[in-house]
Amino acid sequence: MNKKSKIYIAGHQGMVGSLIKEKLISLGYFNLVFAERSALDLRDQQATITFIKEIKPEYVFLIAGRVGGIQANIDSPGSFLYDNLMICANVIEGSRISGVKKLIFMGSSCIYPRLSPQPMREDYLLSGSLEPTNEGYAIGKIAGLKLCEYYQKEYNANFISAMPSNLYGPKDSFSLKHSHVLSALIRKIHNAKTKNQDSLTLWGTGEARREFLYNEDCVEALIFLMHNYNSAEHINVGSGVDYSIQELAGIIKTIVGFEGEFQWDTTKPNGMPQKLMDNTKINHLGWESKTSIEGGISRTYQWFLRHVQERES
């Protein structure tokens, strides 16, 4: 991939996709192509394949997908499976038909079994049952990475897959219904602070553990892998450190300046007990995350104040 290469970013309006677009432009890549959601529904097979055949990209970043928090996944498992299944299948098949030189598909750490040994190695995939609260989403992502793997074997297509841990950062969704845990906590704790609440009730026991990756670090990793990784096997991308939700809430509480106490609603689900990935493979290639959890949350909160809080006030 060089500065003249024609590069298609599927999902350029989302959190990670928009940052990939900005990063590639800043690095001097000028031949970037994309399609607005209103102009191209990636769930539409004929439209997607026709679009890719017409633009003839050399490289593809497949970042597009339907995402949401635990409640959204519980409420709409069929929609999460269908949308993610169709998007990845259509873009991957369209890329194969049009002769794309290389494609990278971004999945999720949700692909691993609910009770997977920790840290989760790549070869733990499909070794046990998935977490029920996001099974539909996970199956869609597993299908995408398996398509890349099988297309390498059957068609010799250089299609690779990267599985990042829980992502957060500027441009994230802060919707209480659709956001992931870290951005949802920022929103809830900020709201509690502005209302001068003495306490705030959060979901679950707070004991579940999660690994978090700052979205700009994820973008660096995806571009790095486009240049340096060609294996059919998917590869983990994470920070290598996990935190309990209680610990995470405490960090956010300090950064936001909330002085109340947390109450835990143990009738609500925790999700997977722990999600910590083994990042040995990508670390050996020469990539490691750079952003500390405190630094990343501080930057994310400042972005929230400028772009979300100001807009709604």
Q: Which residues are catalytic?
A: 137
Nearest of 225, 3, 2, 270 to residue 105 by alpha carbon: 225
Residue type, 125: L
Structural contact between residues 281 and 235, judged by C-beta atoms closer than 8 angstroms = yes
User: HEC states along 155-193?
Assistant: HCCCEEEEEECEEECCCCCCCCCCCCHHHHHHHHHHHHH
**End-to-end Cα distance, the chain:** 44
Structural contact between residues 131 and 189, judged by C-beta atoms closer than 8 angstroms = no
Structural contact between residues 20 and 222, judged by C-beta atoms closer than 8 angstroms = yes
Q: Is 244 left (phi over 0), alpha (psi -120 to 50) or beta?
A: beta
Nearest of 122, 55, 48 to residue 92 by alpha carbon: 48
Query: What whole-number distance in Å separates Cα of residue 24 and Cα of residue 32?
Result: 8
Give every CB contact of residue 171 below 8 A, 6+ residues apart in sequence. Answer: 15, 18, 19, 215, 303
274's enclosing H/E stretch is strand 274-275
Q: Is 206 left (phi over 0), alpha (psi -120 to 50) or beta?
A: left
Residue 286 structure tokens: 């020469």
